Structure 1
């Protein structure tokens, strides 16, 4: 069991490894192989080689695959969408072969294409021999390579990644539940795939998102599905604790107000947030001046709405009514700390600006937006680009063009 064990936890955005053990040992991936089959299927969909509602024929070879499978019969057909869902939930080997044969003359040739594509993704120690993960001595991968693949699938195909959170799939009167139990048992897990053969033990690639932080974690060689899941949850807990030290998670973005343009959008659509009263938020007592904040004026909790009253001219609002939001955090102290860090990294672009810590409510809980005010649009975009390169979650905040006073002035002019 120890010889089959490997694990890794990775920051999906940067590739930073937060935990690693035997991560480069070549082991049997089992049905984790299907992640690569899905990756190539999504590529084929993007380039128009396949269509979601396209019916694919079931060959004798596909029908003859060993379980687990849907039980497809030779001469039948299955849509691309149903085949994808069958891979994700049932981990159906017959559906994997159907997809492989739709993208290459044979499954063996498709496996060679899989290996070549994996190398281009940076999976240096991976070789595929089939599309399903059924036992083959030449089919090997590593925990690190599977983490790279998981992150690539998430970032390259956000429009399809949500399929990996599918909990149940109905096909021809039967219901198939997803083997990934962490989807319902671990907060933030939204994919991606389990795997098992005797030679590998119980494998899992999982991805979890909390705030703006997303982790991809891999476990090879679990003794049971349950012990593997418990171990994976422990690894994710440790990973989030580690990443929070350097990159505090950001509260999901609200729809509409106050954010207009996102640079570096999150993986999934943000949850709707109810904006609370914009009464000033009390901050902790000020400390001695910090070198990183020496050029920022009037660090306060003045709400954003207070900088766009009727007394501001339309011209001034258009020129200086833009802001940037460095993040939204559950603690006001964290919001202020992130402003300090951003200032130190901003190369002077925040000099002379006003800071705003704005309180809002999400799911009944308060959070605090860390904003810097007083930009025109170009300056705001430049500031966010600069900070995004330094791994800050930065967004451009546009003036609220729906303000009655603004509209009235604009109409009058």
Structure 2
């Protein structure tokens, strides 16, 4: 019979406590912030380690520029554009609002300078320069972006411009932005290093990136930030620890600081879960969402090239107290007016009462300690109080060499079980629907 050493039991208890506390924080965040969405993915396996509103429509803001860059990388790869090739600046491009490089109509910028300007400066004028170079017009390029995004599996994304400037019809999801982040890395590992660029000099002026996670989170090595009023503060981040890569997307931060703090917490939590899964402490796959991303073949040459890239060196981080204060002190403040168009995109009707009494269950975890299993099941039941008129908690020991206690909510109809699990996922708790007899 499996017996857990006291050290491992202590470590597991601390880790589970950390995760449970973070789940409660995530729930309150989602409820206080109508723009909030997040997803965390283990790139190697495709497992979704955490998701909250991951498939709800959101505005991408300057995360759009990752798609603009993806299209430019494709053009570089097929030879239709060279890194040193000058790209012409039209009057339309020059007229874009800041942030921008303040390019003059009739001037030019090389493709490589454009890449750096999009990553570091998030320059809207440069985004239009790239769009017109590849698509003739920005509107034509936006249609090309949307078509290519759909081919990559980003079924809920529509682009109307190359920059992410406000457009009510330009929408995406956290899941789609994570898909794009992974595809950028795996399809173009030879260009991915540009996303870690923190400054560049153009015509005597040095521009510094406002992606502070690259400087402050150990292991973070790239991707993009974004903001417009309707979206809040967005960020897509990739980080490596112990040779495992995680991609995470956070959308709808109240400030850049609170967004970055939340992203750091999500990454910490994701790496903690991976560590427990690898050691066998976090036994059930129910700890993750039972969800997987469809990723490119990891045996491909490009994926192997990315995997072989050196792990980023740790960078000095802001203090933990500063990070947590910044996030927790701002989550209760709502942003935007009542007629903000994003509210219509994510409005949800009050859920009706559901009935119990079936042969289906919602499993929220499996543990070596029955008390931990019971605690998590009870927390899940509390979260579903407004959805289910009654629900029974079950902690049952499974057969086999190891003692495993499954935390379940039981006696549900199948449709009720799926509704309950979807509700838990939207609130930041992990679950899976199983038959229970």
Give the TM-score range, shorter chain: 0.5 to 0.7
> Are 1:5 and 2:36 matched, yes or no?
yes
SS at match of 1:89: helix
CA separation of 1:145/1:271 partners in 2, compared to 1, >3 Å: closer, same or farther? closer
SS at match of 1:38: helix
Deviation of 1:266 after TM superposition, in Å, equals: 4.8
Give a deviation string over 1:90-134, Cα, whole Å, max 9, x none: 000000000011101111010001001001111010000000000
CA separation of 1:15/1:262 partners in 2, compared to 1, >3 Å: closer, same or farther? closer
Q: Which residue of 1 aligns with 2:46?
A: 15
CA separation of 1:237/1:59 partners in 2, compared to 1, >3 Å: closer, same or farther? same
Question: TM-score with structure 1 length normalisation?
Answer: 0.61
Q: For 1:83 and 1:73, how far apart are their aligned partners in 2?
A: 14
Contact 1:58 1:78 survives alignment (8 Å): yes
How many residues are aligned here? 260
Contact 1:155 1:267 survives alignment (8 Å): no
> Are 1:270 and 2:302 matched, yes or no?
no
RMSD (Å), alpha carbons: 1.9
Q: Which residue of 1 aligns with 2:212?
A: 181
Alignment gaps of 5+ in structure 1? 249-260, 273-413
Partner of residue 135 from structure 1, selected from 166, 176, 189 = 166
Deviation of 1:262 after TM superposition, in Å, equals: 13
Contact 2:189 2:303 survives alignment (8 Å): no
CA separation of 1:18/1:53 partners in 2, compared to 1, >3 Å: closer, same or farther? same
> Are 1:96 and 2:130 matched, yes or no?
no
CA separation of 1:112/1:269 partners in 2, compared to 1, >3 Å: closer, same or farther? same
Deviation of 1:263 after TM superposition, in Å, equals: 10
SS at match of 1:161: helix
Q: Which residue of 2 aligns with 1:29?
A: 60
Contact 1:71 1:94 survives alignment (8 Å): yes
Question: TM-score with structure 2 length normalisation?
Answer: 0.58
- 1:203-282 matches, within 5 Å, as 203-247=234-278, 264=304, 266-270=306-310
> Are 1:50 and 2:86 matched, yes or no?
no
Deviation of 1:87 after TM superposition, in Å, equals: 0.2
SS at match of 1:32: helix
Give a deviation string over 1:326-371, Cα, whole Å, max 9, x none: xxxxxxxxxxxxxxxxxxxxxxxxxxxxxxxxxxxxxxxxxxxxxx
CA separation of 1:271/1:190 partners in 2, compared to 1, >3 Å: closer, same or farther? closer
Alignment gaps of 5+ in structure 2? 1-31, 280-300, 313-437
Give a deviation string over 1:46-70, Cα, whole Å, max 9, x none: 0001100000110000000011000
> Are 1:196 and 2:227 matched, yes or no?
yes
Deviation of 1:11 after TM superposition, in Å, equals: 1.1
CA separation of 1:221/1:77 partners in 2, compared to 1, >3 Å: closer, same or farther? same
CA separation of 1:266/1:108 partners in 2, compared to 1, >3 Å: closer, same or farther? closer
CA separation of 1:262/1:51 partners in 2, compared to 1, >3 Å: closer, same or farther? closer
CA separation of 1:239/1:107 partners in 2, compared to 1, >3 Å: closer, same or farther? same
Q: Which residue of 1 aligns with 2:284?
A: none
Deviation of 1:245 after TM superposition, in Å, equals: 2.0
Deviation of 1:271 after TM superposition, in Å, equals: 6.9
RCO greater where, 1 or 2, for CA within 8 Å and sep 6 or more? Answer: 2
SS at match of 2:184: helix
> Are 1:78 and 2:109 matched, yes or no?
yes
Q: Which residue of 2 aligns with 1:314?
A: none
Give a deviation string over 1:17-48, Cα, whole Å, max 9, x none: 00000000111100000000001100000000
